[in-house]
Structure 1
Amino acid sequence: MATSVTAPPEDAPRTDPSRRGWRRLPVVHQLRQSVGLQRGMLVAGLMLTGLFLLTALFAPLLAPYGHAQLRDADGPFGAQQPPSAEHWLGTTVGGYDVLSRVVHGSRTAILVILVAIVLSLFAGVLLGLVSGYFGGWLDRVLVVVCDAVYAFPSLLLAIVMAIVISGGQSSLFGGILAAAISITVVFIPQYFRVVRAETVRIKNEAFVESARVVGAGHWRIMTRHVLRNATRTLPLILTLNASEAILTLAGLGFLGFGIEPTAAAEWGYDLNAALSDVTSGIWWTSIFPGLAIVLVVLGLTLVGESLNDLADPRLRSRRAAGSADTAETPVVPGGALDAGPGGLDGIEETHR
């Protein structure tokens, strides 16, 4: 007896692909997946990080004065002035407005983070991909070099690189570039290790062997099939490295190897200049730059740790057993291994 198939009624609810699409966005998906304290940490981190990004984006509009401005129409600001209606957070020992320096310092920090992460991503991913895919003597040399750099104290290495690149201090562009390159040298081994380990594992998968059989070249296999799967965990590392970049930049500025105060505002330099004020009871010149560093690092760290917990099935808190969102959640943000456009069946078609 044949079984009849009943068509769904026309008024039955249908899933909107566009709505499901935005729900699968990286941060949105992890936010919907999180529960309890884990969600609270992620939301708090996103709020602090969003505030930092908005402050850096609208710094010229939010800051009442320029980062190196010492006077207005009424005359000089004066050094070490307490918080008042004219200067909400007071003035520094050099006569700068503290609020303006803190706000403009966020723009310097975001520029250094962007340049450092872009440079370290490009170099670390490329070296890790080549080293893991080809192996041999090149792999051994790169592993030894990266292990040696990784074992070196990161701040000391950044100081040495800052001295070599800019002589210790520089203009806005030179200082940002010097600090970014210094941080890049520290970050490259981290991306190299992650990408190399994933590449060594993925290059032996069945879809990679299938691509070799149909005649695909090394470069095509590396870029179309290996790269997209080897970089799935990098968003987790990016957030943690961003907070480390903030601390390294602040350390360079605190030790006097940062950016000149007339070129750009930098929180580490302002903390160094406020050391003598602390013993004199002048608290406002040091507490606000230090608070900015703490809040930004805390926000980025909360986001990174929350994403890391959600990516690890041993740490992730699951919803009800019948939840479709949780059941379909991948172990890592990038999802399961992807053979490329068209899946395993489309490998041959992409190389015809």
Structure 2
Amino acid sequence: MIAFMRRNKLLTFAAIFVSLQVLLAIFAPLLGLQDPYQQVMVQRMKGPNPTNWLGTDQLGRDVLARIVHGYRTSLLTCVTAVGLSLLAGGSLGMLAAYYGGWFDRIIMRIMDVLFAFPIMLLAIGVIAVLGPSAWSAALAIAIVYTPIFARLLRGPALVICASEYVNGAKAIGASDGRIIFLHLLPNLSSVVLVQTSLLLSAAVLVEASLSFLGLGAQPPTPSLGLMLSEGRNFLLLSPWPAVFAGFAILFLSFGFNLLGDALRDTLDPRLKAVA
């Protein structure tokens, strides 16, 4: 393990950086922070101080507590969205590559239709139908990212489906499910890991944008994008809530993006050959 960490310093740093933020979100209620919903009006818009390390917002709520709990909202929304899009898009991409023919053409044309819409416009359209909430934002992001996973996995799946060992498995009578789960899916794991990390990074920004517009998590739920939106109205009086919420979004997105790049560099055999 130590030797692996020394050989892959970037991957180790990225994994630790992301893990710390995830653990911070998971154990937020156990950190002994103030109640993120508690309003202390006499402490409104205070700067960082020994009691409130990152200051307070316009309602006297502790900024640090709301950011930590905002991590939970953002991570839960983004992980749910990317997980659903991976399950739907990845399955459709693999099945389209495996069965081919008319099934492949129909699935890919549907994905092309979804690709034709700008990401934010499609997400806003979905939320307009479902109503603004964190779960609506998660479903909207999942729909937006489904064609990305479908296209991404279809390409390498076509190569694997044409390989000799897959044709051999078909020749000896292996079922479609056995071939997909034992031969196709394991060979796509590296692609899935890298793309999942990169899309989590992008999903953090999309979720924050939707919350900023009032289409994601609704008040008084702590949300990084919502904190940024509320704090912009008081930048001249107290910039701390907006500044620290912006940094939290930056660190979360940067962590997943760095992890995706590090995984790609580690798992891609072509890059190893160049090195």
Q: Partners in 2 of 1:292 and 1:230 — Cα distance? A: 32
CA distance in 2, matches of 1:277, 1:30: 48
Give the TM-score normalised by the residue count of structure 1. 0.72
2:134 touches 2:218 (CA, 8 Å); kept in 1? no
Q: Choose the corresponding residue for 1:65, options 22, 28, 34.
A: 34
- Find the partner of 1:182 among 112, 134, 140: 140
Unaligned runs of 5+ in 2: none
- Give the counterpart letter for 2:47 in structure 1: P
Aligned partners of 2:46 and 2:77: how far apart in 1?
30
Q: What residue is the counterpart of 1:52 in the other structure?
A: 21
Q: TM-score, normalised by structure 2?
A: 0.91
Question: How high is the sequence identity, in percent, across the aligned residues?
Answer: 35
Instruction: State the one-letter code of the partner of 1:157.
Output: L
Matches within 5 A, 1:28-43: 31-34=5-8, 39=9, 41-43=10-12
Aligned Cα root-mean-square deviation (Å): 2.1
Q: Please, which of 191, 203, 210 is the counterpart of residue 149 of structure 2?
A: 191
Supply the AA of the counterpart residue of 1:99: L
1:301 & 1:221 partners in 2: Cα distance? 32
Cα displacement (A) at 1:30: 6.5
Deviation at 1:116, TM superposition (A): 1.3
User: Take 2:117 and 2:272, find their aligned partners in 1: how far apart are those partners?
Assistant: 33
Partner of 2:102: 137
Q: Could you tell me which residue of structure 2 aligns to residue 269 of structure 1?
A: 226
Change over 3 Å in CA distance of 1:245–1:54 after alignment to 2: same
* Maintained 8 Å contact 1:270/1:289: yes
1:207 aligns with 2:165: yes
Give the aligned partner of residue 299 of structure 1: 255
State how far apart, in whole Å, the 2-side matches of 1:194 and 1:304 are.
15
Deviation at 1:119, TM superposition (A): 1.0
Residues in 1 aligned to 2:83 and 2:156: alpha-carbon distance in whole angstroms:
20
The aligned length equals 275
Partner of 2:43: 78
Give the one of 194, 202, 215 matched to 1:244. 202
Could you tell me which runs of 5 or more consecutive residues in structure 1 were left unpaired when the two chains were aligned.
1-22, 169-174, 320-352
- The aligned amino acid for 1:295 is F
- Conservation of the 8 A alpha-carbon contact between 1:63 and 1:103: no
Q: Quick one: distance in 1 between partners of 2:112 and 2:4?
A: 32
Query: CA distance change for structure 1 residues 224 and 120 in 2, over 3 Å: closer, same or farther?
Result: same
Query: What's the offset of the Cα at 1:178?
Result: 1.2
Corresponding residue of 1:88: 53
SS of corresponding position for 1:69: coil
Residue 219 of structure 2: SS of its match in structure 1? coil
Q: Counterparts of 1:275 and 1:54 in 2: how far apart (Å)?
A: 28
Match of 1:155 in 2: 120
> 1:227 offset after TM fit, Å?
2.2
CA contact (8 A) 2:11 2:262 kept: yes
Which SS does the other structure have where 1:42 is aligned?
Answer: helix
Equivalent positions of 1:6-21 (< 5 A) are: none
